[in-house]
Structures are given as C-alpha cells and as structure tokens.
Amino acid sequence: MSAIADPVDNAVRIDGGRLWSRLMAMAQIGATPQGGCNRQALTDGDFSGRELLRGWAEAAGCRVRVDAVGNLFVRRAGRDDSLPVVMTGSHLDTQPTGGKFDGVYGVIAGLEVLQRLHEAGVAPLHSMEVVVWCNEEGCRFPMAMMGSAVWSGRLPLDAAYALTDRTGRSVKDELERLGIATRGAVTRQPVKAALEVHIEQGPVLEQRAKTIGVVTGVQHMSRHEVIVEGQEAHAGPTPMDMRRDPIRVLADVLPALYAAARDRGSDARLTVGIIETLPGSPNTVPGHLRFTVDVRHPQIDPYTELRGEIESVVRAALRRHSLKGDIRCVWEAPGVRFDTACVDAVRAATVALGYDAMDMVSGAGHDSCNTAAVVPTSMIFVPCAGGLSHNEAESADPAHLEAGANVLLHAMLALASA
Ligand SMILES: [Zn+2]
C-alpha cells in the first residue's frame, strides 16, 4: 500500500475501507482456489453477485431496476429527476479464471459514489446511475460487451437472446431462469455523461508510477488470418528447391511484420498469436499454414498504414514463393475518441485531488466503446499489479482504487451539477 497525498480536505470523499471490503466480499462469490474469480455471465454466481449489490444499493437509498437484456441500473435521484442522468458502471461477470477487480471495481466504485453523496446529504441537479452491464466478458456467451451493445442499439435484442453457451442454453433461457423479464424492448434513458473507472489491464501506469490514467479513447484494432497452401512432401528425399513449403512465406513475413510495427512508433501493437501447420509432423513438409496477426494503434493513419503494409508484405511473399494463399481481416473494432467534456471533467478532478496522472489510450475494449457511440463517454484507469488481468493473480493497491473512485466521484459531481 502506498500513501497518496490529498491536498483537498474539505470536500466529500469515498470510503476506501468500505470499497475494499465490498470488493473482497464480491470476490467470495465464485472464488477460485488460486485467489481469483469464476463468475461467468448469467450463472447462479453472477446472479448472487448482482443480488449482493442490490442489497447494498437499496440500503443506500437507491432504486434498482433490470432491463430486458439483464443490464442492472442503480439510480439515485437528483434535484431534477427529469434531466438526463450522469451514469457510471462496468460489469460484474468474470472470465473463467478471472480476477477480483476487472469490471467489479467500476461497479462498486460507482455505488460508493452514490452512497457517499447520500450519506453526505449532497443532492446534485442531475440524477446518477450505476449500471452493471450484462455479459461484458463474452466467454460463456460468445459476444463481448453484449448488454451495452443492445442498450446502445448496436446489437438487436433478439440476436443477444439467441446466443448460446457450450451446453446449448441461450441468453434468453438463462435470463428467464434467473427471473429477469424478457418481455419488452431495451430502451435507452437520456444520458448526459457516462464514465467508467477500470483497472488498466496493462503495465504502463505502474511503470511510470502514476495513480490515474485519464483515458482519451480506445485504440483501433483488427485481427487478420493468413492461409498459405503448399504441398506435403517427405522431409528426406525432397530437395529444398523442389518443395512447396508454406513456412518459407512465414520466414519472410515475420521480420517484415515486426519492422512494419516498429516503424509506426512505440504505440503500435502487433501480435502473431496462432501459428498452425498441417499435418503437423516433424518429418513432413507442411501442406498448409495458418497464422493470425492482431494489429492495434491509437491513431488512424499509422493504423491504416500498418494494416496495408501487412497485407502487401504477405501478398508479396506469396508471389515470391509462387504459393497460393490469402490474408483476410476477420475482425475489426474501430478506435474510439472519448467525449472532450467528459475527459476534461476527469482531468479536472484528478488535478483538484492532486493525483499523479497521465493521458492514455485503452488497449482493450470496454462497455464504454458501446456507450461512446450514443452518449458522451470517457474512462478512468488505475494501475494493476504487473499489468496483469484476466488472471486469478490480478491485484491492485487499495490506495489506487480509492484514488480512482475519488476521481470518479468528483468528475460525476461536476457533470451532474450543471
Ligand atoms: Zn472489464
């Protein structure tokens, strides 16, 4: 734990002890032997977690409602309840071997904001809401950020309902099993601003000894699949110059890919995560090669250049070796630039509270990518130990979690006051 100087004494603050103890209480639900959490979307554990939150919220004078895709909203009325709300939130579902903080922190920090304002008798002009987005992780039902996608109109409700897990159970079946009404549409309430506080899930804040990341957007990302067709041949009798070996393409392409990423600066990301050959035998020249390239960059121009260069490098290598094959984009998520007023509110709160901060771009997708398409949105990051996430060892400093929640509190207060 590290002490963080806090020069503003005479204003409301979140209760860091309660924030931590609630994180630990939530982590008991679906706790894994390695100290992580397995609370996948729409399981009994997910439901228990949501009920635990509901109890805390109702005891803090808030109203709770659940929409037809399982998004849960905790509302605290402002002085004029007819005005658009200032919203925050994240998710309570986890990966099968997830941690205690990914998503959960954003939800419990949001509740802490509402509860502290309740206890301090502060009533801002606008109402505030904390949302628990349903199925953010997309590991049980294969659609990450599902609930926020439906809410923001990017995914039809019926398409979400039809998703099934590996045992064939659908989202709709599971919502109904858990007593969530699936009649009616998902309607979007008017929102003035949406903020999400989250662990960084990367190592940058920790390495630079910063307490707060002021997140200005989410980087552009895409995934590409390369197929190369060769000819299976015996590794002994076939001379090197008489083979049609797809690995020759890989050998040419890899250095060129890493060089292309390096040329786009330190913000570029390139990952070759899968390399597969068939038949996969040590004494057979492969007849088939498949590999993937994941590309990311926060800026559109270098991102587009990098994408283009990867394609031309692969095509040139195929021609050079006279082998059949192709590269195609199998997934793309365009980058997001967060709302200036929301980013400014976060930065102002960070400065007022005296925390060490830096601007950054998120490397991962979040529910905020969906909300940003329809309402003013931004995010706040806090460091996590070693940058680890989606891992049972995921961990964060209570002082950093408290700082992030205080930034959320003051940014939300500023946005809700006028
Ligand atoms: Zn998350």
| Ligand 1 center from residue 196 Cα (angstroms) | 10
| Ligand 1 center from residue 263 Cα (angstroms) | 31
| Residue 253 confidence (pLDDT) above 90 | yes
Query: pLDDT band at 185, cuts 50/70/90?
Result: very high
| Ligand 1 center from residue 316 Cα (angstroms) | 39
pLDDT tens-digit series, residues 341-385: 999 999 999 999 999 999 999 999 999 999 999 999 999 999 999
| Ligand 1 center from residue 388 Cα (angstroms) | 12
Question: What are the boundaries of each domain within the chain?
Answer: 16-218+335-416, 220-333
| Ligand 1 center from residue 307 Cα (angstroms) | 27
pLDDT tens-digit series, residues 149-178: 999 999 999 999 999 999 999 999 999 999
Cβ(353)–Cβ(263) under 8 Å? Answer: no
| Ligand 1 center from residue 113 Cα (angstroms) | 19
Q: Which amino acid is at 303?
A: Y
pTM (two decimals) = 0.88
CATH 3.40.630.10 for the 16-218+335-416 domain, yes or no: yes
| Ligand 1 center from residue 198 Cα (angstroms) | 7
| Ligand 1 center from residue 259 Cα (angstroms) | 31
- Percentage of the chain with pLDDT > 70? 98
CATH class of the region 220-333: alpha beta
| Ligand 1 center from residue 108 Cα (angstroms) | 13
Q: What is the mean pLDDT of residues 196-220?
A: 97
How far apart, in whole angstroms, are the C-alpha atoms of residue 112 and residue 59? 12
Per-residue model confidence (pLDDT) at position 333: 87
Q: How far is CA 252 from CA 40, 246, 279, in A?
A: 42, 10, 21
Chain centroid offset of residue 260 CA: 27
Question: What rounded mean pLDDT belongs to the chain?
Answer: 95
| Backbone conformation region of residue 6, classed left if phi is above 0, alpha if psi is from -120 to 50, else beta | beta
| Ligand 1 center from residue 137 Cα (angstroms) | 7
